A and B are shown apart, each in its own frame.
Chain A
Amino acid sequence: MKVRLTYSPGVVEKPVLAEVVLKTRLPINILEAKVNAQKGELVVSIPVTGKKLEDVLRMFEKAGVKVQKFTRILHIDYDTCTSCGACISPCPTKALRFGLDWTLEFDEEKCVACRTCVAACPVKAITVL
């Protein structure tokens, strides 16, 4: 499960992620990180599901980190999209590709919500939720 972790100024200095990793011994993968002195925003992939996942998320929340699950990250408006492909090769995680009939397809699993495709789309058919 992909999760966005938002650190407020009070929390940003604490090694919350490291503590969760040490406690759970889960190989939590950092997909994207924007951290400065004021706040931090991480996109991580947590390799468990169900109750185990909820336990991990609660650990973050208890430490004061805001947790947001990526259930639907990206929306492609197919009435607007022309399947031109301008978003495909700029995508750093190869989450966009052509299907068999040359229609643009999106692989939710690979997306890290970096918004590169949003800027690359000539007809503004992509929004990140």
Chain B
Amino acid sequence: MSGNSETDEIRSVEEINEKIKRGDAVVLTAEEMIKLVESSGVEVAAKEVDVVTSGTFGAMCSSGVFLNFGHADPPIKMTKCWLNDVPLYKGLAAVDGYLGATALSETRGFEYGGGHVIEDLVSGKEVELRAESYGTDCYPRRHIETVITIDDLNQAILVNPRNCYQTYDAATNSTDRVIYTYMGTLLPNFGNVTFSGAGQLNPLCKDWNYETLGIGTRIFLGGGTGYIIGEGTQHSPQAGFGTLMVRGDLKQMQSRYLRGASFHRYGVTLYVGVGIPIPIINRRVASTAALKDEDITVTIKDYGVPRRPDLRPVVGKVTYADLRSGKVTIGDKDVPSSSLSSYKMAREISEVLKKWILEGRFFLTKPVEPLPRQRTFKPLKVKRREPKVRDVMRKEVITAQPSDDVKKVARKLVEKGIDHLPVVDENQRLVGIVTSWDLARALANEKAKLSEIMTRKVVTALENESIDVVARRMARHNISGVPVVDEARCVKGIITTDDISKKLVGGRSTI
């Protein structure tokens, strides 16, 4: 080999394009590149291969399309606008709008949304357009209802602020109930693990050091051609969470590679197909283009803890190869794992892009600017003080003991005008709860002791928990109050739905 350093240029993008023109470029998919490097080594692969094609096909929520409808007569300055009852962003000029993938239909909820409208438009289906306005001298119309197809639009430009995550945390659930998340259905007690990402086919994994990708890179986007227009939002390359912002002409795209989707009890999104050619400009790019699922590590996080993403507890560290095997280990337990993104479609995209290049229909571009290699992803600081359980709970708690007499306790409840009575042992530790309803039933059935009727599995709250989290917990269990306990399960207070609604008016604390 000529160069000594692994970053010495072997070939330029211009040279590759010349070879594509002549029809003698060597193009491999990422899977083929992995095999070649395994059999012949990275030196040989770097020398022989001009381009490696990558691909990914997954749910990418930060996606959407800019639309221009053209003017009706008389014209309207649309201030609110819907396509198939899905609202668009209308803070733009009169007949421009942005339709986001996660916008929900106002009539069909989780079943249909922005992602589905995009798929319907690309499929050539008719879509209902409805818009409202206040009317102006130049735009007198105040209402419009019509039907459009993608052909009626002047522009339909897909502009996705964040696509193509390099890697993504896998998800599991430690709680005792099924939860429905943007990572899909998560079964109780670490019952399964879901993950997203094409791993060894993912475009950003194939150019791990951002040596070839940048602003202006031509890509496969949704079955048409598109471009990288910059770093994606939340781009965090040093942590392996690089992202891309991309754009492409929706009119050239195919519904096979842009699919509206619904995540049960979570929301709607768009599955986007992206494929990026990696020019093998040096030996280091050749070796990252040959990265395998075994080399790419992600953490498994507990989505049962409803905290900020970086505060969700890590329960394991695995590779994409482990995840794709269908089984991973958490602690000493084997847990079934499966993907949310389609590896089959990612493969297909890498094949299609390879074909385009070999047929001389797709040429590579040299970026006008590289993507940043350093970026931190900061959390949102909440500067206004938000009430915690501690601020809303009642601290004077009336409790009872398991041996207490039902009649005596019933009298206590009536006297104090309360509905929830925590039952504690001699150390003030919570052992059960009774409600006024339990007591009424106990009296009717002539039960004598509290221990016979109390609920032993008590739903509780902690003093420093957020009110929203506890309110959602009460709603889920269909209960109106929970004891507040410390780590030793000693009762510190009690919080009820009444306390929450009385003390928090309109979501803002009056304390």
Chain A residues with CB under 8 Å of chain B are 82-90, 92, 94, 97-98, 101-103, 116, 119-120, 122-124
Contact = CB atoms under 8 A, between A and B. Distances in A.
Q: Chain B at the A interface: mostly helix, strand, loop or mixed?
A: strand
Nearest to B327: A89
Given A84-B271, A122-B340, 20 more contacts: A82-B342, A83-B345, A84-B57, A84-B339, A84-B341, A84-B342, A84-B345, A86-B184, A86-B185, A86-B339, A86-B340, A87-B338, A88-B336, A89-B326, A89-B336, A102-B344, A103-B344, A120-B264, A122-B261, A122-B271
Contacts of B217: none
Given A82-B259, A85-B342, A122 B336 contact: no
Contact of B192 (A82, A89, A119): A89
Contact of B185 (A84, A90, A123): A90
Interface residues of B, number: 31
B262 interface: yes
Given A82-B342, A89-B337, A89-B338, A119 B326 contact: no
B142 to A, nearest CB: 37
A101 B187 CA distance: 27
A122 B194 contact: no
Contacts of B339: 84-86, 88
A86 B59 CA distance: 11
B193 interface: yes
Contact of A89 (B58, B194, B341): B194
Q: What 7 A-B pairs have minimum CB-CB distances, sorted nearest first?
A: A88-B338, A122-B261, A89-B192, A89-B338, A102-B344, A85-B339, A90-B185
A86 B194 contact: yes
A83 B262 CA distance: 15
Contacts of A88: 326, 336, 338-339
Contacts of A123: 259-262, 271
A87 B184 CA distance: 9
B262 A116 contact: no
A82 B344 contact: yes
B284 to A, nearest CB: 29
Nearest to A88: B338
A33 B223 CA distance: 46
Contact of B262 (A89, A94, A103, A122): A122
Given A82-B57, A122-B261, A94 B185 contact: no
Contacts of B98: none
B336 A94 contact: yes
B303 interface: no
Contacts of B82: none
Q: Chain A at the B interface: mostly helix, strand, loop or mixed?
A: loop
Interface string B31-59: 00000000000000000000000000111
B263 interface: yes
B218 interface: no
Contacts of A120: 184-185, 264
Interface string B338-355: 111111110100000000
Nearest to A97: B326
A86 to B, nearest CB: 5
Contacts of B185: 86, 90, 116, 119-120
Nearest to A92: B187
Contacts of B338: 85-90
B468 to A, nearest CB: 25
A108 to B, nearest CB: 19
A98 to B, nearest CB: 8
Nearest to A103: B344
Contacts of B345: 82-84
Which of the listed residues A103, A119, A124 has the most CB atoms from chain B within 10 Å of its own CB? A119
12 contacts: A83-B344, A86-B185, A87-B338, A89-B194, A89-B337, A90-B186, A101-B344, A116-B185, A120-B184, A120-B264, A123-B260, A123-B261
Nearest to A99: B344
Nearest to B345: A82
B177 to A, nearest CB: 13
A114 B262 CA distance: 19
A117 B260 CA distance: 18
A101 to B, nearest CB: 7
A102 B326 contact: no
Contacts of B186: 90
Contacts of B180: 119
Interface in B169-224: 180, 184-187, 192-194
